[in-house]
Amino acid sequence: MSNWMLYGAYGYTGKLITEEAVKRGHQPLLAGRNEEKLKAHANQYNLPYAAFNLNDPIEIEKHLEQVDLVLHAAGPLTFTAPPMRKACLKTQTHYLDLTGEISVFEDTFQQDVLAKQAGIVMISGVGYDVVPTDCMACYVKQQLPDATSLEVGLNTGGGSMRASAGTLKSVLEILSNGNLARRDGRLTAIRLGSHVKTMPFRKKDLLTIAIPWGDLSTAYRTTGIPNITTCIALSRSLIRLLQVAGPIGPPLLSITPLRRLLQFLIGQVRKDKKSNLAHKGQTEIYVRATTDDGRSAEGWLVTPEAYVFTALACVRMVEKVLAEKPSGAMSPAQLVGADFVLDIEGCQRFNG
């Protein structure tokens, strides 16, 4: 019997998750809004399916009544998370999602009291954004309990050509809110294109630039560290481009009709390209915590490619929640701890 639902099952990431879930002996109820695509996907695995869209609360609740947990993989989550979270609270269904959007993380944390009252857990970001970085933030905090600053660096070794339509649409949503860092415990606007610095990845130093990664929300809850900057390694030319275009990008993307047009175009361009996405390669995460008096702790984590990691991690997160039945809104590492990533194939952690 299925005791959990995968919503967004026929999307690029949903398909990878389905494959991993089946490999681990699960029979999730596959769900999404397009019956034709859903049926074709479910039949491949001989799994049950439920087609419903997210603008009818009664429909969502009716289907959630059948399961203990939903893993929400349809996005941008900015639009799809609110109705699902609401229905989860009503039907007492555990909620996990794949967001990378800060506003979604923050909204999920706001549900803490309601989630506890309902006896369910709500965890946003159970994919590449933010499980590996959250576990690493937890790891360096354990080594340096009085840390006051945290830097998180990502080297994904690839650009936008490796991203699915859903991811690119979500990136537009993220950028429309401008760039952010956490300063003195508060999310603080910083200029896109600012905070360029070299970070010591294991093979070589790489140039990085600050981006609004989910850890600005989650690592703050996981570690309590009040100053957090999240950065990505990019080529020098891309960094230059961001420095030039950065100041005008977010204001332009905040114009909703323009953003919608770009999202539509992304959907058209990416329609037939799903099979071209890379599954190979690795990513590397560098995390450094520092104290006010200059002491520091650092660590590195090598992971499989981001979509592959996402599928591996989120199915294990589902297993953890179903086994432990926690309650409240929390970050991934608040549930699973620093070492969770060490049990994921292809992950290796290194000390400073």
Nearest to ligand NAP of 133, 227 (CB atom): 133
- Per DSSP, the residues of 199-239 read EE-SSSEEEEEE---THHHHHHHHH--SEEEEEEE--HHHH
Stretch that binds ligand NAP, among 29-37, 110-118, 187-195, 241-249 (CB under 6 A): 29-37
Which CB sits closer to ligand NAP, 32 or 227?
A: 32
Positions 159 through 218 that interact with ligand NAP (CB under 6 A):
164-167, 170
Would you say 89 and 60 are in contact if contact means Cβ atoms under 8 Å apart?
A: no
Closest approach of Cβ 124 to ligand NAP, in Å? 9
Q: Is 220 in the site for ligand NAP (CB under 6 A)?
A: no
Sign of the dihedral through C-alpha 253, 254, 255, 259: positive
Cβ proximity to ligand NAP, 14 vs 328, nearer residue: 14
Q: Tell me which residues in 129-148 interact with ligand NAP (CB under 6 A).
A: 129
User: In a 3-state reduction of DSSP, which class is residue 263?
Assistant: helix
Q: What angle do CA 151, 155, 158 make, to 5 degrees?
A: 145
- 45 belongs to the binding site for ligand NAP (CB under 6 A): no
Q: How far apart are CA 260 and CA 131, in angstroms?
A: 29
Among 21, 67, 98, 140, which residue interacts with ligand NAP (rule: CB under 6 A)? 98
Number of residues lying near ligand NAP (CB under 6 A): 31
Reduced to 3 states (helix: H, G, I; strand: E, B; else coil), residue 20 is helix
Given 4, 12, 109, 139, the residue binding ligand NAP (CB under 6 A): 12
Interacting span for ligand NAP (CB under 6 A) from 40-48, 71-79, 180-188, 330-338: 71-79
Among 28, 76, 178, 332, binds ligand NAP (CB under 6 A): 76
Q: Is 11 in the site for ligand NAP (CB under 6 A)?
A: yes
C-beta separation of 49 from 42 below 8 A = yes
| Segment 274 to 333, residues that bind ligand NAP, using CB under 6 A | 307, 310
**H-assigned helices in 70-206:** 77-91, 102-110, 112-118, 131-143, 165-176
Instruction: Read off the amino acid at residue 82.
Output: P
Interatomic CA distance for residues 190 and 301, integer angstroms: 27
Q: Which is nearer to ligand NAP, 14 or 250 (CB)?
A: 14
Based on the shown chain and the rule CB under 6 A, indicate whether residue 74 belongs to the binding site for ligand NAP: yes
Which residues between 246 and 265 bind ligand NAP (CB under 6 A)?
Answer: none
Nearer to ligand NAP, 125 or 290 (CB): 125
Q: Which residues of 286-317 are buried (b: 16+ CB within 10 A; e: fewer)?
A: bbbbbeeeeeebbbbbbbbbbbbbbbbbbbbb
Asked if residues 71 and 93 have their Cβ atoms less than 8 Å apart, the reply is no
**Applying CB under 6 A, which residues contact ligand NAP?**
8, 10-14, 32-34, 53-54, 73-77, 79-80, 98, 100, 125, 127-129, 164-167, 170, 307, 310
